[in-house]
Structure 1
């Protein structure tokens, strides 16, 4: 049990700390040159999460669970702080107090991910190590919305002349929006007793869609890196969204394994 706690904690921190660091970078690149204070704050968060990554490298699955619990608390504070920063940027943007190249939906999107990360660390320190069946739908709603957002961002950042890719991105956006609504409907109508067949079908359908989007992102990433398509997509952003799709697939696999063992 202790080793599982350590392993899950280190895995979450390894994945999401890199994501948080990259969010800070993407925000900084989207600000205008006169928004120096916001750029400096973003750069400070890059440093914060780089230090967390350095600390992370000193731990192993055999590390003292109490040390990991303390580390989780430290990283939780960093995740909560970057969440507050992102919400501040979102507020400034929605009130038109700043104008930048950071879409409001993108800022909201990355703040949702910071909240998810902070909450996951809190759950781990409370002993919630493995996914619970009753959490499946909510967790999928979160990630399905993330995937839908990614498709929208890709569609908007591609050059309009890339008509085929833009249309593919729009189709993915529509498909994942529908999956979000379907998940919400399922959560509302879910019977209190037997849910296994519904959840099995739900996870299978989601996995097929996520794998398809993951493959689209992989192709787009390779084309962007090779300068074979026209877009405003940073190569690191392409890789970033690909890794998040991979993460969602891993989580679906965890849920499927949990259901089989129940």
Structure 2
């Protein structure tokens, strides 16, 4: 194991442990006051991932790789547990056992998919089994395009209906990313024949344009929410949360583009995040 393994592991854990911590908070906000057991479980997971985040910040590129390997294994267990919690909550909602709660079923499924993505990443890092670049490009984009499409839908439904222009913009983004996702899945089903340099390069270029537009929309929405200039039930932390995920997707696209064109790819510790291989 090398410094690259350590840097990439820490990058993944730092980014995704914060995401998991915030998921716990958002789920808690959506439970009813009588759901005391679920609220306690959400608080437990918040504390677990806050601790993981703090531990990750105590390590550095010079940390013994075997220490990081054990840390990844411990984090994998925690992520598996929060994934199971999220799927349990989804089951309760779909069985109409939490009437009056405000967690959308799609949102709970969304956060469980991100937990599974994180879990797979940790397993791959520890096993050292990385996908070839063409497969990684398609799989990462399929995953993140769906995440972006979901975000647009959540924003649309959490804005006050009177914010007609912003709701319309969010719905347009939802449609745009649904179409991009369909295209990505078509490319996925056509592989390996579809994995040519020109096709993958165009694929990344097209996605990058749309992700930048959505990222900018999310930034504006975050600023408006923080300044109390629009009507919504979007928590400011949620607005920042979805913005950060768009930023990460853009960085991943940039790193893939550099890899395709032969430009040097930054070391993980030189950027805020590092392009992971596909789950």
| TM-score relative to the length of structure 1 | 0.97
Q: 1:177 is matched with which residue?
A: 178
CA RMSD of aligned residues (A): 1.4
1:166 to partner: Cα distance = 0.2
> Per-residue deviation at 1:253?
1.4
**1:220–1:238 contact (8 Å) kept in structure 2:** yes
Moved more, 74-83 or 189-198: 189-198
8 Å contact kept, 1:4–1:129: no
Q: Structure 1 residue 164 and structure 2 residue 165: aligned?
A: yes
Q: What is the match of residue 228 of structure 2? A: 227
Contact 1:8 1:129 in 2 (8 A): no
Tell me, yes or no, if the aligned pair for 1:21 and 1:50 is still in contact at 8 Å.
yes
For structure 2, list consecutive stretches of 5 or more residues without a partner in the other structure: 264-279
> Deviations 1:13-36 (Å, cap 9, x if unpaired)?
000000000000000010000000
Within-5 A mapping of 1:131-210 = 132-192=133-193, 195-210=196-211
Structure 1 residue 56: Cα displacement: 1.0
**Which range moved further: 67-76 or 193-202?**
193-202
| 1:59 Cα deviation from its structure 2 partner | 0.3
**Greater RCO, CA 8 A, separation 6+:** 2
Aligned partners of 1:217 and 1:242 also within 8 Å: yes
Contact 2:134–2:195 under 8 Å retained in 1? no
Question: Structure 1, unaligned stretches of length 5 or more?
Answer: none
Q: Which residue of 2 aligns with 1:124?
A: 125
Alpha-carbon distance in 1 for matches of 2:77, 2:258: 31
Tell me if the contact between 1:24 and 1:42 (Cα under 8 Å) persists in the aligned partners. yes
Q: Which residue of 1 aligns with 2:6?
A: 6
Q: What TM-score comes out, normalization by structure 2 length?
A: 0.91
Between the two proteins, the alignment pairs up a number of residues equal to 262
> How far apart are 1:192 and its partner, in Å?
3.1
Q: For 2:17 and 2:239, how far apart are their aligned partners in 1?
A: 17
1:77–1:20 distance in 2 versus 1, CA, 3 Å: same
